[in-house]
Structure 1
Amino acid sequence: MNRSIKILLVLIAVFVTLALAVTVLSLTVFVPELTSDKEECVTDSVIAHLPIRANLHFSGFPKGPVLNETVSFVYVLAPSVDLKVNVSEGIVLPEGFVFVENNLPTNRSTLSKDKRYQFNATIKAVKTGKWTIYASPGVYVDAYVFEDRKGVLRIQEVPFATQPAYIAQRIGNVSKEQQDALADTAKDWLSGYDAIEYEKEEFNCSTLSLAWHPGYGCEMFGYSNSTLYDKYYFVIDEDLHTNETMVRNVYRWAYQTPSGYQQKPVCEEITTKGSENSE
């Protein structure tokens, strides 16, 4: 083999090694240290879509636990903006399940944009029946628990969760009547939250999911004295049996703060619970 061919083969081997290294790094799930100081975050302009995507990965899926048996899962969060959130409140268990162990942080922390965080948990089935586990935001697990045989797990996640609202609308358009009803639901929630009364409000709603747990995403801009005061993003459920809607998650960008006007406020989740499962 002549010298030029040997050199070419060495260069090819180096290129392949570098390509594999880059691929491995891009697939790595990051679990960096969580930060809690707003000043340390790189903030973003407010965006018109759900600011974080969630996934649940169960061991043994799609089989579920027998009564009094445990099952483990990984809770994955991928924020597209810096986001203040209490991760431990993101998993809402029904009365048919209890936590056995988990590493969900209980303090309010900031998840950094464009990184993936994973948290482990083990839960135990303590009652038979059909139960719904909620993972914030927009992930539903219908769990069927039996006494004498393996159960069944069905998982629904929000598709296009980190895409712009106009793409999410391809799943299903929101009519003016629907948007008005969703806006009323959001405003009722804000009233209970003791938010200020805005001079003007603008709503833009999209369908996030049309599966067995229909969901909607609504962004709201609140203006006071002709100035943008707050921006909210609501994740809202619809009960197919009662046709009632319910706020699941609320994200807020506060432009007007006691310390002054914020051009690029950090997104903060101000609720994760708001369902019967959390009682």
Structure 2
Amino acid sequence: MSKVVFITGASSGIGKSIGEFLVEKGFIVYGTSRNPEKYKNSKFLILELDVKKEETILESVNAIIKKEGRIDVVINNAGAGITGPIEEIPHDEIKANFDTNFFGPIKVIKAVLPQMRKQNGGLIINVTSIAGYMGLPYRGVYSASKAALEIITEAFRMEIKDFNIKMTNVAPGDFATNIAAGRYHAPLLDDSPYKKPYGDTLNLMNAHVDNGSNPDVMAKAVFKIIETPNPKVHYKVGEFMQKFSIVLKRILPDKVYEKLLMNHYKL
């Protein structure tokens, strides 16, 4: 029997690549978007969902259960980027980012757990970020939101183990997607004390995304996780140096690692 997969934020980028790859592998895939009417030619059905709005989550989950009778895999992929000096990012934008990157996935998890308990099994994959393993300059809010999702997954795994429900994180590095175009950018203010370092860092971040890996790499990694009987707690997917940066953070003194980051961003 084909597994039923539910992917949030699946209209483009990593989510779309995962969905299309899993369809080719014989899975029944449902994706989501805030504007599904734009994606009528998608290779899988796109449902309307905004992770900030709990009612749209429940509607999508209930629609899938009514049609398929089960949900086997949930991929919490919907997310939003945000950049800027923390001092200058409006507080409402910080809250909005956490609503999407942290509270949104929690709402999705809560919506699917009753069904997974009922069917005595399921897998939840939370897409985080390598940026969630370190506080990156001018990406501090994004790093924090993804780090929060990483940590709460560790706790969730232990709480749902008795129900035969598995959960894991997969942290991508830089991939060639449209996330840079869709992220919130705090404006470069002429009178800002951060104008030059923030502007230089922003250009560097955008170049990393433009030169990032093909999202199909993430799709293959997620497929492998789905096929693994007992997934690990954390997975990292990206260029060697991006993954190695996490190792360096574990072994280097804090100030040495901080200096490496500052040198990388030319701060």
TM range (shorter): under 0.3
Normalised to the residue count of structure 2, the TM-score between the two structures is: 0.27
Normalised to the residue count of structure 1, the TM-score between the two structures is: 0.27
> Larger % of helix: which?
2
